[in-house]
Amino acid sequence: MNPEIAALRETVAGLHRELTRNNLVAWTAGNVSARVPGQDLMVIKPSGVDYDDLTADTMVVCDLDGTVVDGGSPSSDTAAHAYVYRAMPEVGGVVHTHSGYATAWAARGEAIPCWLTAQADEFGGEIPIGPFALIGGDDIGKGIVGTLSGHRSPAVLMRNHGVFTIGRTARAAVKAAVMCEDVARTAHLARALGPPLPIAPADIDALHDRYQNVYGQRPSSG
């Protein structure tokens, strides 16, 4: 087996444990994928397998049309992941969850305003809403790409559905999914207390620039 794909299978299987560890998923909902660098392939979660049974061997390799190359039945969201990889060459990882607080905002069709410095850091402003789209064809993928292209946010709240995040790596996309839920929860709690205070756009810009370009050891890998 190609050693790069074997390593990505391990990585993607391991990242699924972050979804459960961070309480982002119920039952078998949610999925992580990673692009195979330099090849028109991706590694993605199998469909309907219990999180406890996800191993490197159960991960599915698909081409960027969503056709299985190696493995069993892939996630039912495979078409959306494939669409994103085809349309956004800079994206190396995609994550989908129905995490509770973020999906509550999606149910209202309401973008999360930037009321927190941590949100400015990671998302560079509001976390946007994507269109309502039915699963199956390219509609979800189109909604994700249409919303996130040219947007600073690596997360989109697909209306009445849930969260899709992108990253240069699958790990970065998982981090964005964890941070999106954390921000959505705190923003909800803040608003329950009364009107939250806005952050000046110039301060959001400064926070985002510092976090993305200065903070940490390897900010691009999260």
Q: Find the shortest distance in angstroms from Cβ 53 to Zn ion.
A: 20
Q: Are the C-beta atoms of residues 17 and 49 closer than 8 Å to each other?
A: no
- Widest distance between CA atoms in the chain: 57
Alpha-carbon distance of 181 to 164, in angstroms, equals 11
Write phi, then psi, for 60 (nearest 5 degrees).
-110, 135
Q: Are strands 68-70 and 60-63 parallel, antiparallel or unpaired?
A: antiparallel
Q: Find the shortest distance in angstroms from Cβ 27 to Zn ion.
A: 12
Pick the piece of the chain touching Zn ion (CB under 5 A) from 64-72, 101-109, 117-125, 155-163: 155-163
Q: Find the shortest distance in angstroms from Cβ 7 to Zn ion.
A: 27
* Count of residues in contact with Zn ion, rule CB under 5 A: 1
**What mask of x and - would describe binding to Zn ion in positions 111 to 150, judged by CB under 5 A?**
----------------------------------------
Enter the DSSP assignment of 124.
S
Q: Find the shortest distance in angstroms from Cβ 89 to Zn ion.
A: 24
For Zn ion, the nearest residue by Cβ is 162
Q: Are the C-beta atoms of residues 56 and 13 closer than 8 Å to each other?
A: yes
Query: Under rule CB under 5 A, which residues in 157-186 are in contact with Zn ion?
Result: 162
Q: Which residues bind Zn ion (CB under 5 A)?
A: 162
